[in-house]
Structure 1
């Protein structure tokens, strides 16, 4: 074996570096394409599962009983002779007047004062607004009752 000169060693080093750099890009591209292929396969599997779910739902809609149930739930339709009930909450449309005042008061402060207050002042517990309509509606004496068919009615004995 003969020893290599310095120029030959540098030339072999550059050749190896060139080969490594030349092979890096195709290997990176190959790895990226494999990852894309795996992601695409996962997407296909997810889409096939979604298609199966939609097919099941489609079969449900071929059942007239299911269609009636959905019409009752989603659209609020009722059968002839039924009595619909709609319970309204009287506090739904009300706004809290004090919250608007608190927001205005916070906006009047400088940013550093508001920041310091948010750290140093403990938050006030939120006050719940009493709902007299709900309280009245949930009293036992105001709930509807169904008469007992076996109990004798007034006038019968």
Structure 2
């Protein structure tokens, strides 16, 4: 019996030793999984922080870019306005010159100096086109003017 008992205790010991080894392996695996899950949790937290920063900064960045574009557009409009002001100043300076005014009057208003004779040359093709377009070219000019006044005075306008 003593041998039987030793054998039982050896087998029991082996079984216990196997169970202890299995428990150690299981604990080791659990520790690795815990470490992995902690890393996964950290990574998820980091991803959450990064996403929060992206969302928090997206609107201000969009506004910044929009405002920069608006500033560039306003600067362009300002430069264009300055250019127009310069052109108007130049035109104003030219209008101070009597020779320039006389030239404009001769070109646009067909003014003549005393003693000059003016001629108006009419292109027959252009005159015919104008008559076809107007329809009232055969009437006196003052009739057309009065018709225009009557038309402007109608309530439907």
- Shorter-chain TM-score tier: 0.5 to 0.7
The aligned counterpart of 2:53 is 19
Task: Tell me the SS of whatever aligns to 2:73.
Answer: helix
What is the match of residue 84 of structure 1?
118
Match of 1:54 among 72, 77, 88: 88
Equivalent position of 1:65 in the other structure: 99
**Which aligned runs of 4 or more in structure 1 are off by greater than 6 angstroms?**
none
Structure of greater relative contact order (alpha carbons < 8 Å, 6+ residues apart): 1
Deviations 1:61-120 (A, max 9, x none): 11111111111111111111111111111122436xxxxxxxxxxxxxxxxxxxxxxxxx
Distance 2:118 2:128 in 1: 26
Q: Cα RMSD (Å) of the superposition?
A: 1.8
Whole-Å Cα distance in 1 between the matches of residues 94 and 78 of structure 2? 24
Residues 3-152 of structure 1: pairs in structure 2 closer than 5 A: 4-94=38-128
Specify the SS of the correspondent of 2:126. Answer: coil
Unpaired runs of 5+ residues, structure 2, are 1-34, 130-157
**Match in the other structure for 1:103:** none
**Deviation (angstroms), 1:39:** 1.7
CA distance in 2, matches of 1:90, 1:20: 74
Separation of aligned partners in 2, 1:31 and 1:9: 31
Cα distance, 1:20 vs structure 2: 0.7
**Alignment partners' CA distance in 2, 1:94 and 1:64:** 38
Give the TM-score of the pair, scaled to structure 1: 0.54
**TM-score of the superposed pair, with normalisation by structure 2:** 0.54
Report which of the two structures shows the higher radius of gyration computed on alpha carbons. 2
Which one has the bigger helix percentage? 2
